[in-house]
Structure formats: C-alpha cells, structure tokens
Chains A and B, each alone.
Chain A
Amino acid sequence: MRVLIYVLAFGFYSSLGIMAAGIFLHLPSLTHAGLIVLFSTPIAFVFVLCVIEFMAGRVQKALVAFLLFLILLVNLIFQ
C-alpha cells in the first residue's frame, strides 16, 4: 500500500509545483500540464492498485480494477 501513497503524493505535489511554476512564469502550457498531472493521478492510482492486486494473486480483484482503469482510459481518450 506504500506504493499507492507514493503515487498519490508524487502526483499531487508535483502537479501543484508545476501549476505554481506555470502561473509564476506566465507559461499557460506548463499550468495546463500541471492540471493534467493532477487529473491523471487517480487514474494512475487505479492502475497501480490493479498491478498490486495481480502481484498478490488476487486475480479477480485485479480484473475489476483493470476494467475500471479501461473505462477511465476510454473516457479520457473519447473526451
């Protein structure tokens, strides 16, 4: 579970850092990138959770998590 905390912490704090840098340096593309990192963090969380469940041998739970990841990914692509 520690890996999940690292994923969330990295995603959240790095997105805030990128956003702050973008606003401070007046670089809209950098600010935009910060927002994308923030919104991708929960999707990355689901993917890592799926990998953890699979590694632990809980295949059924891993499949459910992977299905959720796929739905989020398809939604992301179609949007």
Chain B
Amino acid sequence: MIEQALALCIGFVSSIAGAYLGIGGGIIIVPALVMLLGIQMHSAVAVSLATIVSTSTLVTMRNLKKGIINFDMGIKLELTTALFAILAGFFAIHVNQALLKAIFGAFLLLFAIFMYLKPEPKAVESDSGAFSYYDEFLAKRVSYDVKHPTAAVIISSFAGFLSGMLGIGGGIVKVPILNGICGIPMKVASATSSMMVGITAASASLIYLKYGYQKPTLVLFTSIGAIAGSGVGLFFSKKTRNETVKLVFVLMLVAVGVEMIIKAVK
C-alpha cells in the first residue's frame, strides 16, 4: 500500500515538472523510484518512460485545447531526433560513455548560457508572425516566427544521437532547440516538447515491456498521480511569464549539465 502511495506521489511531482517545463521528468522519477522504492534501475527506467507517456498524453490533450503546440516544428524535430536516437543504439556499446557524458554536459551548459542571453520574443498583438498563440498570463494573442529551422533540424539530429547513446534527454534537448535556436516562445516550446517526449518515450517503453522490466501496478499509480500533477503544472504555467519558465529551465539545464560532467570525471 505504501509502495502505491509513493508511486502516486512520484507521478504527481514529476508531472508538475513535465507540464511546466516540457521535460519528460525522468530526472525526477528514476532516482525517486530507486531510492524510495528500492526497485532495480532497469525497472525504474521502464516505469519512468511509461509515466512520461502518461504525462505527455495528458499535457498534450490540454495544450491542444489551447492551440499552443507548434506541430510543424515538433514533427520535423521529432523526426530527426527519433531517427538519430534509434541509430545511436547501434553505436552505444562501442563508444566511451564517460567522454559522451562530458560532451553532453558541456552541450547542456552551452545551451543554458545561450538561452539565458537570448531575449524572449516580444509579445505582438497583431498576426504579423507566421504562428500565434493566446498567452493566458498576458491575456493577449502572441505572434512569432520560427527562425533557423534547418539549423534546428541538424542540431536536433546531433542531440538525438547523443541522447540515444546516453538514454536521456528528451525535453532537456528539445526545449533549448525550440526556444534558443528557433526563437519560439518558452510556453510554446515546452508544450511542443511535451508532445514530442511522449512519442519518443512510447517507442522506448516497448523495448522494456518486451524484456519484462515494466511494473504495471507502479505505472497505474504514477499515471493516476500524473492526472492531478499535469493540471497543477499547467496552472503554474498559466500564471507565470515566459521569462520565469525560461529561468527555471536554465537553472535545471545547469544542474543536469554539471551533474553529467561530474559523473564523467568520476
């Protein structure tokens, strides 16, 4: 009973981060499952991926109603990220993992600096941009353009390759590309990333299901927790500025980047 209650809480907390920042939440779920419930690493990753699918599905349902997702860039980036992440699986065993972690950590820190320095696109009430969405915090329609789509697709393939090798980095790679390189407002970037991480996690989850690592009881309870948590995350997102969401994301990028480099050095 305690196990189920803890799974419910883990699903709740991770889906708040997932809905607010557009990340999968694996950074929270995997250590929580291993430390609090004492389950094996492979099973923790399997339950984490399944919870990400649940969170992504719930968040995407709500974001679809708001019309905040940029499908055009989402599908293009997902195409290259997924393709190169799958290809990476064939090379993963032949490459020095410590070196890869260091490269990935440095890559995240660079993204953090780039995102912090790059100003958020200004809210424009007219429909001058190619895309637009209704910002509930500003209570007006925000119009924006997508910049450097080709560069974003090339970088996302590289990022997909790295994340596929290390088995991480859904949203943590996609949000900086969408916001930092394409100039997409932070809330749209996190909503689009939320949709994308669900697609990536679903294909990876099937592998773990095949090898019997999934724990359906835990998945059920983390998913029930995600129903409430995703609502809370989207409520916070509605009540905050794009700049605040971006700052929280930059801090998280720095933390994960530093952690990666420390792990590589050790």
Q: Do A and B bind each other?
A: yes
Residues of A that sit less than 8 Å from B by CB: 1, 4-5, 8-9, 11-12, 16, 19-20, 22-23, 31-32, 34-36, 38-43, 45-46, 49, 61, 64-65, 67-68, 71-72, 75-76, 79
Interface string of B65-100 (1 = CB under 8 A from A): 101000110011011001100100000000000000
Roughly how many angstroms separate A61 CA and B220 CA in the complex, as a whole number? Answer: 35
Give the residue of A19, A41, A68 whose beta carbon is less than 8 angstroms from that of B57: A41
**B198 an interface residue at 8 Å Cβ cutoff?**
yes
* B residues apposed to A, CB below 8 Å: 50, 53-54, 56-58, 60-61, 64-65, 67, 71-72, 75-76, 78-79, 82-83, 86, 198-199, 201-203, 205-207, 209-210, 214, 216-217, 219-220, 223-224
B-chain residues with CB within 8 Å of residue A35 when the two chains form the complex: 50, 205, 209, 214, 216, 219
Contact across chains for A38 and B50 when beta carbons are under 8 A apart:
yes
| Beyond A5-B61, A39-B202, 20 extra complex contacts between A and B, CB < 8 Å | A1-B67, A4-B64, A5-B65, A12-B223, A19-B219, A32-B209, A35-B216, A42-B56, A42-B202, A43-B202, A46-B199, A61-B71, A64-B76, A67-B79, A68-B199, A71-B82, A71-B86, A72-B82, A75-B203, A79-B207
Name the distance in Å between A50's Cβ and chain B's nearest Cβ: 9
Complex CA–CA separation, A49 to B217 (angstroms)? 31
27 contacts between A and B (CB under 8 A): A1-B64, A4-B64, A5-B61, A8-B57, A8-B60, A11-B57, A20-B220, A31-B216, A35-B50, A36-B209, A38-B53, A38-B223, A39-B202, A39-B205, A41-B53, A42-B53, A42-B199, A43-B199, A46-B199, A61-B72, A65-B75, A68-B78, A68-B79, A71-B82, A72-B199, A79-B206, A79-B207
Which of A1, A9, A38 has the most B CB atoms < 10 Å from its CB? A38
Tell me whether A23 and B216 are in contact (CB under 8 A): yes
Assembly CA distance A31 to B76 (angstroms)? 34
User: B213: shortest Cβ distance to chain A, in Å?
Assistant: 11
| Residues of A with C-beta under 8 A to B219 | 19, 35, 38
- Structural contact, B217 and A23, CB atoms closer than 8 A: yes
Residue of B nearest to A36 (CB): B209
Q: Which of B50, B72, B206 has the most CB of A within 10 A?
A: B206
